[in-house]
Amino acid sequence: MRTGHGLVTTGHEAAEPSGVTTTEVTRPAALDAHRWAMVSGTAGVIANVVMIVFFALAQPLGAANPRFMWLGTANDAIIVVQFAAFIPVALALLDRLPPIRTVQLATAAAVAAMGAAMMLQLLLIAGLLSFEVQVYPVTAAFAVVFGWVLSISRIGYRTGALPRRVARIGLFLGLSLPVGLFVAGVGLLIPDGVAARYIPLAIGVVVAAVGWLALPLWPLVLARFVFRKEQESVKEGLLR
């Protein structure tokens, strides 16, 4: 819709001939979503690099090196930034997907999990929680976020609300952590000392770790193929 001030949001009223509901997005909304997605993805990539360097320098082969322990705190702080910026990305996607209960519940759960992850990281930084205690609820929070990625990617793929390449990446990413944890859990059920125990355990840990490290790619993919495309469409509309 054209006005004297550019494009306006039409909600989910407009529909393409295929029946897929679409939403026109204002220029500020498209810009904000793109910026938040870039901040979240970039912070996540930096957090991953810091974490890898931390384990390489601060805890090489399990031996603690006090000189580099600050890298662990830096990683925790960057993750807070990552999820603080991730929340508006999730809310922005809510307006771009079909207004069905599954999308709404998945988004609400994801936003709550992102907030919980932020609080757990802050409690860890403040020394109010030990890593041994914090790691379990924060992993659960991450699992909820991965479940949200899987859910909205499946719906986005089925309805065409998300570009196919974006939805496929989301499906792969959303499955990685839960599948990895499940396979590792199967390995843990095998009695200790049995060689077969370590095969599913190793595979599960690798798959889950790859998914964990790949999570920042999701907002970056959204920034490139969803929010940036919207910006370009808005600019073209303003030039007509």
Residue 209 falls within a domain, yes or no?
yes
Q: Which residues span the domain enclosing 41? A: 2-10+23-239
Task: Report how far apart, in Å, the C-alpha atoms of 87 and of each of 12, 94, 136, 180 are.
Answer: 21, 11, 21, 25
CB of 58 closer than 8 Å to CB of 71: yes
Task: Tell me whether residue 159 is in a domain.
Answer: yes
- 77 found inside a domain: yes
Residue 147 domain flag: yes
121 within some domain: yes
Evaluate whether residue 16 is within a structural domain: no
pLDDT band (50, 70, 90) for residue 17: very low
Looking at the whole model, is its pTM more than 0.85? Answer: no
15 in any annotated domain:
no
pLDDT of 27 strictly over 50:
no
When pLDDT is cut at 50, 70 and 90, the band that residue 60 belongs to is confident
| Residue 58 or residue 77, greater confidence | 77
Is residue 40 in some structural domain?
A: yes
Spatial distance between the Cα atoms of 145 and 138, rounded to a whole number of angstroms? 11
Question: What long-range pairs does 198-206 form, CB within 8 A, spacing at least 24?
Answer: 204/179, 204/180, 205/180, 206/180
Say if CB 9 and CB 29 are below 8 A apart: yes
Total number of residues shown for the chain:
240
Domain tally, the chain: 1
